Structure 1
Amino acid sequence: MPTTRITYDDLPGRVRSAIEEVTGPVASAVSATEGFNSAVAARLSTPTGERFCKALPADHRQVWTQRREAAIAPHLKDVAPEVRAHLEVDGWDVLLFEALDGYHADYRPGSPDLPAVATLLETIAALPRPPVDLRDMRQRLRDYVEDSADLRHFAGSTLVHTDLNNANVIVGDGRAWIVDWGWASCGAAWLDPAYWVLWLVAAGHDPAAAEQQASAVPAWHVAPPEAITTFACAQANLWNEIAAAKTEDPWTARLAGAAKQWAALRAV
């Protein structure tokens, strides 16, 4: 099964025909340059408008993330692009979205995009939990805390995205959207701002300055200091594990280094 990106034109003919029954003839297809969770990730120009296509083989080990995204998408008004179709054809699972016009958020210090991202996270935290089966954050982080009793800090019923990679955040017209909801979970409302801290540090912020940025999101202030410390240490443990398995990957090393920096600040 594909583990690297292929083009839209590489999809089987029956799959492309099913897509074009929804969109009309595809005049052009431009593959995304960021992220490789989907075998196909391409912007399609069609008579019905610009669409974004994601596709995975139906037997791919991560196809559950795409199906979860399809289930959640109708409940993400004002924070994510509208889903137009979810197709299962000829051994492929396909999602079609409205395409967003914008660019990947810039998380670097001084970026004008930071307020829009904070507003986005505030909006997400206020969304009703969708009627979808979601993983619990206590389950997801249970292997990365020193004391299982500390998992109580992550409990909650808020919908959380959990992947604040700037490539998932699209900025345009003074506002931000977030895509790739496959790892969405339920947990404490402050978790998405906390995940943002990690990515801010990876983008060049001092950990204390990154926390100051996160404090623009009201949900951040709900977290007791010990909860944030527990989370920062859990992220350091998680990314250290990932980095140990991907020793030649500079992207992973950057995230592991950021997590270590943040955990060190919280341990003082």
Structure 2
Amino acid sequence: MSPTPNPSAAHAMTPATLRTQWQQLPAALRAAIEQHTGRVHRAETISAGLNATFTARLHTETGLIFAKGTPSTRAAGQRREACINPYAQPIAPRLHWHIDIAGWHILGFEHLDGHPAELSPGSDDLPDVTRMLTQLTELKVPTTGCRRIEDRWADAAKQADTDPALLAGNHLLHTDLNPHNILITKRGARLVDWSWPTLGAPWIDTACTALWLIAEGHTPADAERWASAHPAWSTAQSAAIDTFTATSAALWGQIASNEPRPWKLRVRDAAATWAQHRA
């Protein structure tokens, strides 16, 4: 009997918190949102996504809006996302407004009609993802609002005994290219949830995507062949890719140890497999 294939890591991703419904939001917050949108006729709660407490498709007098929010005390990532949005165009959905009132921080984006990217072998979505990653390397670089990759990953690099300076650069990076953050639309792939905008080498987002390809069933060799089709990949020294894989293995080891959810364990194992392949 053939072994049962491992389930998709992306399919196992579920929200970290229960979703708050539109009617459960404070009345003052709902009124503030409707000052931007006109009357909200209907709100559809969206279950996809990991960190926001409120995510919904708002049917309003002025059209569809994707809104997400979280208590103001936990909104650092959303504030970074609002700051970086003008620089992430046209890959990110456009931010129309953001509100911080009644203890909530809410972002209102243009609504994208699409589906999360399928990154398994043979997926029809991969060409769109390839084109999007090329566009990523062409984004303008913000002057504020971003940490540098060598600082963000310093602890994991120390654990892996690698030199994070090999990852340094001045390109705007997303760094969280899980399939739910890559939406395939009629206009191509779009990238959502810019909670961790980072400056680093131009090939790093391609490497972050390649890690997810491995988690979704590709071999490390196949993932690297896929990555080699991206122009930025040719700028990466072999030692820098070794540093990325070893550091990622340490980083995802920490993440999975702190919260051993099934999808995090899958990505941890993928990162370890890639690091062993490089070694």
Alignment TM-score, normalising by the size of structure 2? 0.90
Q: 2:272 aligns with which of 260, 263, 267?
A: 260
Q: 1:176 aligns with which of 178, 189, 210?
A: 189
Counterpart check, 1:115 vs 2:127: yes
Counterpart check, 1:16 vs 2:30: yes
Q: SS at 2:267's partner residue?
A: helix
Q: 1:238 aligns with which of 251, 254, 272?
A: 251
Q: In structure 2, what residue type is equivalent to 1:180?
A: D
Q: SS at 1:145's partner residue?
A: helix
Q: Deviations over 1:140-185 (max 9, x none)?
A: 1111125777111111110000000000011011511000001110
Q: Which residue of 1 aligns with 2:199?
A: 186
Q: Deviations over 1:229-253 (max 9, x none)?
A: 1110111111111222223x11111
Q: In structure 2, what residue type is equivalent to 1:32?
A: I
Q: SS at 1:96's partner residue?
A: strand
Task: Give the deviation of 1:3 after TM superposition.
Answer: 4.3
Task: Give the deviation of 1:133 after TM superposition.
Answer: 2.2
Where do 5+ consecutive residues of structure 1 fail to align?
none
Counterpart check, 1:126 vs 2:153: no
Counterpart check, 1:33 vs 2:27: no
Q: 1:80 aligns with which of 92, 106, 109?
A: 92
Q: SS at 2:44's partner residue?
A: strand
Q: Which residue of 2 aligns with 1:53?
A: 67
Q: SS at 2:221's partner residue?
A: helix
Q: SS at 1:27's partner residue?
A: strand
Contact 1:142 1:148 in 2 (8 A): no
**Separation in structure 2 between the aligned mates of residue 137 and residue 187 of structure 1, nearest angstrom:** 5
Contact 1:26 1:45 in 2 (8 A): yes
Where do 5+ consecutive residues of structure 2 fail to align?
1-15
Q: In structure 2, what residue type is equivalent to 1:264?
A: Q
Higher relative contact order (CA 8 A, sep 6+): 2
Q: SS at 2:183's partner residue?
A: strand
Q: CA RMSD in A?
A: 1.5
Q: Which residue of 1 aligns with 2:233?
A: 220
Q: In structure 1, what residue type is equivalent to 2:38?
A: G
Counterpart check, 1:206 vs 2:208: no
Q: Which residue of 1 aligns with 2:11?
A: none
**Separation in structure 1 between the aligned mates of residue 162 and residue 73 of structure 2, nearest angstrom:** 37
Q: Which residue of 2 aligns with 1:153?
A: 166
**Separation in structure 2 between the aligned mates of residue 215 and residue 115 of structure 1, nearest angstrom:** 13
Task: Give the deviation of 1:7 after TM superposition.
Answer: 1.8
**Separation in structure 2 between the aligned mates of residue 246 and residue 77 of structure 1, nearest angstrom:** 33
**Kindly, what percent of the aligned residue pairs are identical?**
42
Alignment TM-score, normalising by the size of structure 1? 0.94
Q: In structure 2, what residue type is equivalent to 1:69?
A: E
Q: In structure 2, what residue type is equivalent to 1:181?
A: W
Contact 1:116 1:174 in 2 (8 A): no
Q: Which residue of 1 aligns with 2:7?
A: none
Q: Deviations over 1:44-89 (max 9, x none)?
A: 11121110101111112xx111001101112222201111101111
Q: Which residue of 2 aligns with 1:66?
A: 78
Aligned residues, how many?
263
Contact 1:243 1:256 in 2 (8 A): yes
Where does 1:137-152 land on structure 2 (aligned, <5 Å)?
137-146=149-158, 150-152=163-165
**Separation in structure 1 between the aligned mates of residue 252 and residue 18 of structure 2, nearest angstrom:** 22
Contact 2:168 2:201 in 1 (8 A): yes
Q: In structure 2, what residue type is equivalent to 1:184?
A: P
Q: SS at 1:129's partner residue?
A: coil
Q: Deviations over 1:217-237 (max 9, x none)?
A: 211111001101111011111
